[in-house]
Amino acid sequence: MKIKTKIAIGIGVLVILTLAQGIVCNIFLMKASEASGKILQDNGASIEYTKEMMAAIDQIFEIYIREKNNIKANKSEEALFKSFEKNLLSEKNNITEKGEREIVENLSKMYHDFKKEAMNKNSELNKSNHLLIDHYIKIKEYLVAVLSINMEAINHKNDIAKGMNKKALLYIYIVEVLTVIWILPLLFILPALIANPIEELKEKMREIAKGNFKQKIIVVRNDELGELAEEFNQMAEKIYEYQHKGRRNDLF
């Protein structure tokens, strides 16, 4: 194999390992970023919808407590009902976790029962607030359940993202180790591969300069330096032949 080919292969493998390290980093960074984005986009949105519904239902219930005690309410229950329903619809369209749909369906049913009782001003049950209070408590329980299931999902996905980061670091370390393992031989073997034959050639040339034309290099390579050694041996042999031919001519 030619020296040029060996160097090209060595550099090529080094480039491939470097590119592999970059690709591994990018892949896992993209996956981690995507996972983090989903955490914020899906479960984070559900938490916001739930908080808005909690705030709305608390204020609606406060209005009817005030009305029971003949205290004028500061806010319109109609706007609060619309706010609750808007966020409830958003949550229905953002179901992501197992068991969440059933909870939201029960929440929706309980909310409609609550609204029906709240809007029925002539109901004796509404005047005593017993049924309204029961509906309110159930709604709060369902909202807390939705909040809890999404918080647990965030923690779970966060653990998955951390696991992906650890796996990414592991793969990066593996590629780095492979790169170092490949570079070290290049640093020590490749220079010796080129320098040692050249030093041997220089030594043989010094011997020829001293008149020792029997010098030969043992050729064990099949590259440019091996070809150079062959040429040197042929040159030394021809010089030796010319020298002896000249001596024979002098004798005769």
Q: How many domains does the chain have?
A: 2
Among candidate residues 84, 175, 78, the one with its CA nearest the CA of residue 119: 78
Q: How far apart are CA 113 and CA 115, in angstroms?
A: 5
Residues 239, 205 contacting (CB under 8 angstroms): no
> What residue type is 249 in one-letter code?
N
Residues 117-137 pLDDT 10s: 877 765 554 445 688 889 999
φ/ψ region of 99 (left if φ > 0, alpha if ψ in -120 to 50, else beta) reads left
100 pLDDT tier (thresholds 50, 70, 90) = very high
Q: Which single residue is written with the structure tokens 């239902």? A: 57
228 pLDDT tier (thresholds 50, 70, 90) = confident
Those residues with Cβ within 8 angstroms of residue 5's Cβ, 6 or more apart along the chain or in another chain: none
The last residue of one of the domains, among 125, 159, 179, is 179
> What residue type is 207 in one-letter code?
E
What's the domain range around 110?
3-179
In a domain, 187, yes or no: no
End-to-end CA distance of the chain: 49
- Taking 3-state DSSP, the helix, strand and coil percentages for the chain, each rounded to the nearest 5, stand at 85, 0, 15
Q: Is the pLDDT of residue 241 over 80?
A: no
Q: How far apart are CA 76 and CA 84, in angstroms?
A: 13
In a domain, 193, yes or no: no
Q: Is the pLDDT of residue 248 over 70?
A: no
In a domain, 125, yes or no: yes
In a domain, 153, yes or no: yes
pLDDT averaged over the chain? 77
Residues 140, 54 contacting (CB under 8 angstroms): yes
Say whether both 98 and 218 belong to one domain.
Answer: no
- The mean per-residue pLDDT over the stretch 33-54 comes to 78
Query: Residue 112: its pLDDT value, please?
Result: 94
Q: How far apart are CA 183 and CA 189, in angstroms?
A: 10
Residues 167-225 pLDDT 10s: 777 877 777 777 777 777 766 776 666 677 777 777 877 777 777 766 676 766 676 77
Q: Which single residue is written with the structure tokens 């010098």? A: 215
Say whether both 80 and 162 belong to one domain.
Answer: yes
